[in-house]
Amino acid sequence: MPKRPLVCDTTVLLYLDRIGQLHLLRALFEPICVPAPVRLELDMGRLLRPDTVDPGRLGWISMVPVGQDEMDALPLNRLGEGERAVIAYAKSHREYLAGLDDLQARMLAEAVGLRVVGIIGVLFRAKREGLIPTVRSQLDALRLAGFRLTEDLYQGSLQLAGEETDRVADR
């Protein structure tokens, strides 16, 4: 599968790093961009948790500016600056996938015609490419790292990945 360009939000970077799988982005996408507001969110996160990823120190991630006017041109929403910047950047660079996990952000991105990929989508791609053996182990690690994942999404993801689910009715 050819690598696609990706503009990434905080959650995707933060949680892939926390489960030791940040390298999957580099293996699956190129180039990878992070808007300035996302970097700022991660910088602020390091004040509370010093091990928070710093995309500026990764030579394979490019920091990109996003104009306030581009973010203001989006439909009215209550998203954070980072999510808005990702959507605005992807909207003006249509070849980019928007790396988003927040449901409202994903819905807005799709409403303006963008293609979206979240952490689970990254894990599906990684399994297809033979970069990880199972999605389940990564989903379990995400849960342990504090990533909010409903039981329905967890089980549905296992089913889509062709892995055994925990539901009796699914067996």
| Domain spans in the chain, listed from the N-terminal domain onward | 4-120
Digits of tens for pLDDT over the chain (171 positions)?
Answer: 689 999 999 999 999 999 999 999 999 999 999 999 999 999 999 999 999 999 999 999 999 999 999 999 999 899 999 999 999 999 999 999 999 999 999 999 999 999 999 999 999 999 999 999 999 999 999 999 999 999 999 999 999 999 988 754 444
Record: fold of 4-120: Rossmann fold (3.40.50)
Residues whose CB is less than 8 angstroms from the CB of residue 98 and which lie 6 or more positions away in sequence, other chains included: 7, 9, 86, 87, 90, 109, 114, 115, 116, 117
